Structure 1
């Protein structure tokens, strides 16, 4: 199957995850196209889609949200997997639970344009520059940690489940 893996990345975390997913699908025999959403002019010619975005202020980046809205007709009836990249894994205690709730808010907004097979929220790379000077101080004061929190095992397992679902649809 021809799969479009599309992404909107702010600092590189989402791009890295999209690259991993594309590589995993390619390794399992799928024809994969990997592109930033801002470089895509349409969705024709693809059988399935994996689309992801960084999350800022509990929403997908505007370029990614606009991509879904503009292409909702072309995506209708096709298998679509969505992933979001935020900061829940960088938080501790009650804040971690609160941040994990962003998946509910993000997904509610995305469901206005597309009905995905599945949506996953991953944690990305969190640096002081992610939040700006004041935001970084507040983040640290609230127990936040900086670092690379991408869970490559979880990303690989999810990629494998997508590949298996695509192979099943193909046969």
Structure 2
């Protein structure tokens, strides 16, 4: 079974998550290619696709949304999972859960109609002063936000294992990939 893991990453941190997902999928027996979405020319040669993007201003990066729109036909023809990397875990405790839910609803709604994914995982990434320079960093600190690496690797790996299980349980895919 061939799986494509595509990513759009502003600072390379979402790419690290994509590589970890690929590592887990390979450990489950899949052949996996990992590539920046801007460099992928034909997702049609894969049995399944996992796509992820950093979230800026409550939306996927333009590279990612452009890829999804350009390759909509290929993506609709195969199983697709999506992941989005935001920063809700860096927010003050009182704001985390509502911000996470609102962001998840907004992203899932924006992408669901385009590619009909089998799943969407909203993750928190890394928030640092160098990633939020100037006024944005001051505002973030001012509302009680905290910088750090908020990636939950156990959650990411468990999600990738669920994808592998779903794919191995799907007779249409396992017979196509044989």
On whether the aligned pair clears a TM of 0.5, the verdict is yes
**Which whole-Å deviations, capped at 9, do the CAs of 1:41-72 have from their partners, x for residues lacking one?**
12121000000000000000000001000101
How far apart are the structure 2 equivalents of 1:16 and 1:155? 11
Structure 1: gaps spanning 5 or more residues: none
Kindly indicate whether the alpha-carbon contact (under 8 Å) linking 1:22 and 1:32 is maintained by their aligned counterparts in 2.
Answer: yes
Cα distance in 1 for residues equivalent to 2:22 and 2:89: 23
TM-score by length of 2: 0.92
Cα deviations by residue, 1:6-56 (Å, 9 ceiling, x for unpaired): 000011221111000000001110010100001111212100000000000
| Residues 152-163 of structure 1 mapped to structure 2, 5 A cutoff | 152-163=153-164
3-state SS, counterpart of residue 129 of structure 1: coil
Corresponding residue of 2:42: 42
User: Which 4+ residue blocks in structure 1 deviate beyond 4 angstroms?
Assistant: none
Find out whether 1:63 has 2:72 as its counterpart.
no
Pair 1:28 & 2:9 matched: no
Q: CA RMSD in A?
A: 1.1
Show the counterpart of 1:112: 113
Unaligned runs of 5+ residues in structure 2 are none
SS of equivalent to 1:66: helix
What is residue 125 of structure 2 aligned with on the other side? 124
**Match for residue 138 of structure 1?**
139
Alignment size in residue pairs:
171
**Residue 29 of structure 2: SS of its match in structure 1?**
coil
